[in-house]
Structure 1
């Protein structure tokens, strides 16, 4: 375990999506007891922490990201006692525990929203974002919801609209009300007192809205008006990213600082200024500890893309701290996104792991990455995700990356569940990459373990500053710290290049080093120390 106040610097966190990790009770849905039973696998990888996606009571309109009670466990996943047992087991194995906090919005079944919508003059009347219609009955402005349609939902009882950035079942809290902030901070304190080591903050730049309810402008980015989601056609200056966000983050940081060794990482969802916001939200030592965005969760797999994102972050926030990820529960798995750049699936999976785990900052891995998994191809009738259902077939949604973890290739449902039908299907391509099939030293899983061990043991690779080397496409090269050299051929073709100085390889793939000459085969790479 990485100990001390700054354990999170350079750390690697493993994201667990509870519904799909391990089903201990046989109902087809993963649960807390299942997570506890499989923590040995996670600890064996050599990561520092786990991030557990939401397990709170929820109607599951958005798979737990619509919270109806912030201080309990949904029976689908178990009990508070099961949660405590999971935390204790993780700590015994040397793992920190980070849990999701969905503070920007609640469920429409949350008791406070039920009270808020009952009238305009009750105690919770202004705990959510309400607004009168325009004289013609239309919503108060042009803000759009991420999942489609207006971000405003009419409520006949109050004869007003309420604001929701996501589904109508996910009303946004009114952060301009200090009582709302106090309530949410108390909910966070509940889990701190229960022993968690930190939080992943969902949609951390969505908390505060513009009180004047000004219209968003059109998105000026090239191609924005051809987006499959209308939300992406707007420049969301007023519906999110408000400067008042920083004030709340400072209050949240002050709360965590009351406890030893706690940390938080924020998800910055933005198509305009994500890197700048990551820097702003982590600067100064009194806001987020870390932030991540979707900047490396897209289709781009080029040296210039990775270099620009890393350099841009530290240029905007020299005292900030990034958390980089290639996959999570909201985007297609990266091996599938980048297959056109790969010689084969395994080679690409190993190279992506080597690249991600060489980056300066902290790292987040998503369950199944260590198996080289790609998305499961699902039929429309198999979908559960509202995004996929609403935008099919142009966008197939997030279910493909959320299908169950596969443990034993020969077991029903890949060893995930004994149920006849799990909540999402386990199909042959995923089952063929189960943990049980990856016992040899050439497997993707074995490489993850080796790469994680190298990052964990080498101070340069974990905490060293980055200096990019001047290589031509498709080669990406950089120095970490005093003496670590990392060079990647981001293509399925062989390349040769000179080295500025001789290196001693520590981990490599289809790489040949001869003095100051380096040959990298398809998706080849070398990570080594200056000789």
Structure 2
């Protein structure tokens, strides 16, 4: 079944201003979602063609990864013009049409703003590097070399090697936390901040419903350029960079996550609040202090609406003990923070493969995400239970994977084209040769095939999302009484209207759970949930959900 635009696109669904609180956001990686013109690369018209399908999932919003003009050294995360669409993806008219039709389907549209850096082909950088005296000379992070000509400090790039690149025009180094072609902007410059806020205002005026803010804690650097200290081996983890990357050898105290960032985030929030029903979702990239920073950035009503850290994007499995640890830390460091959870995205191995999940466990994890306090991000194809694709070295496009192959294969395995039609050439993604090969293992789970099976993973995700929306406590209620007992995680979600008891066996063996006393009704049976009273035994990947009204 190919769900296309089946609703009246003139209707604009009325939603509350805080639609984002507990909302479900569907991430679209535009290069790989749907190609409309046969060039092998997904585009904005392709997204528009599939809005009916996205709306049928029951999600609240879409987040579209960058589609701005770019030389595509990092596939759109290296922006050369913040105010225009790259011809690869279409035109500004195409985007406006997408926006109008998405709103007609009742979908909010969030776009990915990359503010920490630009492409080295951005006109701002061309002017900044021309001399030390021009109007934009301090819009990027420039520094003199040490007396011996080496970089100003020991900061490292996530993509490997020094975070400093020599520039023969200015006879200085510029900072790049990512590729050398992605120079970092200098947020200590007031004029630069104003220019970036003007970019945000441009898209808000156009009608977007919010922003996903890339690497939000990378905006500011330490003005004294102090060296980062080393990080002991037992404190290193691969949540931000693979272990083969020397980036993990440092505690990045000075190259990112600076206190001055708070004031800029408050400026951005104040701008956003001038428009009704808009939201900011920040990505916090920090392997040691992610939850703490999430709390700092979302506390109160003047900063970001929500943020996500990388705790559930790690290779480390989502066990009951680890989930309890994460929420205990979040409560301790930032009890009023509003998180947004993701299990997969465009930068990490798909969680079905990363955690080695069975189909039953994938289904259980989908329900768990819909029950956790916070908002939720689903990555395209997650609703199909897609595994990571195996991309041969000769087909790799990602510079990250090419650099660290074979110990780290990069991000192409989670970026292969969406599979729409099992029997079609290129699985219905494109009539031309795709920019990355379509995975044959993923094609077996194509949308058209799963649509025909009412018990498929696709329909399971629809039911899980519907369950969340059917219970206000799951959307925006408090989360209390979280207990870990062996492999079982239990907690209660509650608001003024209802309570929902949740129990998940995240282990491989049957486990017993003590059920709460009182009058409860079983919910989620259509998802495979079980119920009972007294002591209930949950099998591997089983769960129990029960609800009761408060009165």
Match of 2:355? Answer: 338
Q: Which of 524, 527, 530 is the equivalent residue of 2:542?
A: 524
* SS of alignment partner, residue 165 of structure 2: strand
Match of 1:211? Answer: 223
Q: Distance in 2 between matches of 1:360 and 1:311?
A: 13
Q: Which of 467, 476, 488 is the equivalent residue of 2:480?
A: 467
How do 1:8-23 residues align onto structure 2 when only pairs under 5 Å count?
A: 8-23=20-35
**Contact 2:25 2:378 (8 Å CA) reproduced:** yes
Q: Which of 465, 484, 498 is the equivalent residue of 1:452?
A: 465
Q: Which of 291, 313, 319 is the equivalent residue of 2:330?
A: 313
**Contact 2:74 2:399 (8 Å CA) reproduced:** yes
* SS of alignment partner, residue 72 of structure 1: strand
* SS of alignment partner, residue 108 of structure 1: coil
5+ residue gaps in structure 1?
none
Q: Distance in 2 between matches of 1:167 and 1:203?
A: 14
* Structure 1 residue 54 corresponds to structure 2 residue 54: no
* Structure 1 residue 323 corresponds to structure 2 residue 335: no
Q: Distance in 1 between matches of 2:224 and 2:467?
A: 52
* SS of alignment partner, residue 522 of structure 1: coil
* SS of alignment partner, residue 145 of structure 2: coil
Q: Which of 156, 177, 183 is the equivalent residue of 2:168?
A: 156
How do 1:144-223 residues align onto structure 2 when only pairs under 5 Å count?
A: 144-220=156-232, 222=234
Match of 2:126? Answer: 114
Give the stretch that moved more between structures: 497-506 or 359-368: 497-506
Q: Which of 217, 220, 227 is the equivalent residue of 2:243?
A: 227
Shift, 1:516, TM fit: 2.1
Shift, 1:121, TM fit: 1.5
Q: Distance in 1 between matches of 2:23 and 2:14?
A: 8
Shift, 1:223, TM fit: 5.3
* SS of alignment partner, residue 447 of structure 1: helix
Match of 1:293? Answer: 309
| Structure 1 residue runs of 4 or more that deviate by more than 6 Å after TM superposition | none
Name the Cα RMSD after superposition: 1.5
1:230-270 deviation line (CA, Å, top 9, x unaligned): 11111101100000111110111111111111110100000
Q: Distance in 1 between matches of 2:419 and 2:269?
A: 37
Q: Distance in 2 between matches of 1:100 and 1:221?
A: 34
Match of 2:281? Answer: 265
Residue correspondences, number: 526
Match of 1:394? Answer: 407
* SS of alignment partner, residue 531 of structure 2: strand
* Structure 1 residue 368 corresponds to structure 2 residue 384: no
**Contact 2:530 2:543 (8 Å CA) reproduced:** no
Q: How has the CA–CA distance of structure 1 residues 471 and 213 changed in structure 2, closer, same or farther, with 3 Å as cutoff? A: closer
Superposition TM-score, scaled by structure 1 size: 0.96
**Contact 1:511 1:519 (8 Å CA) reproduced:** no
Q: Which of 47, 71, 75 is the equivalent residue of 1:63?
A: 75
**Contact 2:473 2:500 (8 Å CA) reproduced:** yes
Shift, 1:506, TM fit: 1.4
**Contact 1:510 1:520 (8 Å CA) reproduced:** no
Match of 1:433? Answer: 445
Shift, 1:512, TM fit: 4.6
5+ residue gaps in structure 2?
1-12
**Contact 1:313 1:322 (8 Å CA) reproduced:** no
